[in-house]
Amino acid sequence: MATVSAELKGKYVLVVNAGSSSFKTQILSCENETPILAVLAERIGANNGKLIFKVNPDTDKEEKHAFDVHYPTHGEGIRDMMKRIVDMGILPNFDSIVATGHRVLLGGPKYAECKVDATVKQVIRDYIPLGPLHNPANLACIEVIEEILPGVPAVAVFDTGFHTTMPDYAYTYGISKELSEKYHLRRYGFHGISHKYVSKTAAKYLGKETFTGICCHLGNGCSISAIKDGKCVDTTMGLTPLEGLLMGTRCGDIDASLPLFLMEQEGYTPTQMSDLLNKQSGLKALAGSNDMRDVENLIEKGDKDAILANNIFNYRIIKYIGAYLAVLGQIDGILFTGGIGENASVTREPICKAFEPFGLELDTELNQIRSGEPREINKKGSKIKALVVPTNEELEIMQTTLKILGY
Ligand code: AMP
């Protein structure tokens, strides 16, 4: 943690991470970089919404408050949340908030992290066609908070930002140049805030200036990045978060002809096809649940579908790590993060064992240990290290926000 300047004593950053029908926010103290409040609003647009406040989250002083709510839009949800923060006495007013940091899904090829102004808002609008569920929600949150906190600067941290350093041969699709230019079609990559935070944390843990290696973010969404000297050189997600690994509900890599075939045969519209590939595929389609804990339980009972789903899940990860090993040559290590990467030792084990011939020696006992801290799971002297590094996107957004604003 950086030592805090006098002007940040007693001050907070509001971090907002809006999804298509939800938002997560945190108020983090600039002094100790921990949240005093974590909020989750779910089912925005539906009648049975939920708002959950955790005051002093993940401490022995944690207090949880759950409310039934109905938020027609993200904006109304944010307004209500801000009112409750004061009404509940969590903050007396908002004078101590020095900045807001927003996770924004898509910022195109140039924008990584920047202070929000009219140009940046236009960039967020320009990429709505490629991020139709997220970018409008992100913009709505920015604009409502600007109204509630006039004069408080906002920073946009793009989930695609970390991947803007990919070389052209990694991000270009082999299709018409004219169409690619007209519609901004290229590989952007996602989970960038997590890959950046985890690779920076690993560099610190390993006592290096920067990290060179492979970062596996395995959660409900999954992606792997190849990182050289702290910069992303390739990643598995593409134009949208659909490409690459098998995920909870997304299919990952498939032959592009497959959806065309199904649209012809079944008469699916583009929206129905997108729903099938994004929400009804992956572990959910193959094993009956998008939750890896359910898949693990089914495997214990000998369920053949779950075994196959898990084999596909692991195989794709191994294939991409192998590819990125070839891309990078020398690596410091392989990093695991996200709900599955941080918790599922049974997923990490076969993946790490596949790289034994390349010099990764897994310590099966260390692999079983649970902890919220970054840790090695390889044997001493292992040529390639394997690390579990818990992700913290909110902290990354907060640190980036303060850096961009010159604190
Ligand atoms: P995330 O999207 O990062 O929150 O990760 C969600 C995924 O992590 C789901 O598939 C969960 O089943 C999985 N997960 C969380 N805890 C565990 C655990 N203890 N063992 C296996 N998978 C887990």
Ligand 1 neighbour 349 (Cβ under 6 A)? no
Strands 12-18 and 97-104, sheet pairing: parallel
Residue of minimum CA distance from atom 9 in ligand 1: 291
pLDDT of residue 1: 55
Helix (H) or strand (E) holding 12: strand 12-18
| Ligand 1 centroid distance, CA of 354 (Å) | 22
Measured CA to CA in angstroms, residue 308 lies from 280, 296, 348 at distances of: 17, 12, 17
Expressed in angstroms and rounded, the spacing between residue 292 Cα and the centre of ligand 1 is 6
Residue carrying structure tokens 């960038």: 192
Instruction: Let me know: does 14 contact 100? Beta carbons within 8 Å.
Output: yes
Q: From ligand 1's centre to the CA of 291, what distance in Å?
A: 7
SS3 337: strand
Q: Which residues are catalytic?
A: 159
344 lines ligand 1 (CB under 6 A): yes
Q: If residue 120 lies in a helix (H) or strand (E), which one and from where to where?
A: helix 118-126
CB of 299 closer than 8 Å to CB of 289: no
Nearest C-alpha to atom 19 of ligand 1 is from which residue? 343
Backbone angles phi, psi at 212, to 5 degrees: -120, 120
* pLDDT digit string, tens, across residues 282-323: 999 999 999 999 999 999 999 999 999 999 999 999 999 999
- List the Cα angle 200/202/204 in 5-degree steps: 70
> Residue 170: CB partners within 8 Å, gap ≥ 6?
187, 233, 234
Q: CB–CB of 400/115 below 8 Å?
A: no
pLDDT tens per residue across span 239-268: 999 999 999 999 999 999 999 999 999 999
387 in Cβ contact with 335 (< 8 Å): yes
Per-residue confidence band for 4, with pLDDT thresholds at 50, 70 and 90? confident
Ligand 1 and 192: CB distance under 6 A: no
User: 191 C-alpha to center of ligand 1: Å?
Assistant: 16
Atom number, ligand 1, closest to the C-alpha of residue 220 = 2
For residue 136, give Cα distances in angstroms to 23, 113, 133, 208.
13, 18, 7, 39
Among 286, 329, 290, 331, which residue's Cα sits nearest to residue 304?
Answer: 286
Q: What is the pTM of this model?
A: 0.96
Ligand 1 nearest atom to the CA of residue 283, by list position: 10
220 lines ligand 1 (CB under 6 A): yes
**Would you say the CB of residue 392 lies under 6 angstroms from ligand 1?**
no
What tens digit of pLDDT does each residue of 128-153 get? 999 988 999 999 999 999 999 999 99
User: Ligand 1 centroid vs 339 CA: distance in angstroms?
Assistant: 4
Pocket test for ligand 1, best of 292, 300, 347, 369 (most atoms within 8 A of CB): 292
Residue 114 is predicted with a pLDDT of: 97
Strands (E), 56-179: 63-69, 97-104, 113-115, 154-158
Answer whether residue 2 shows pLDDT above 60.
no
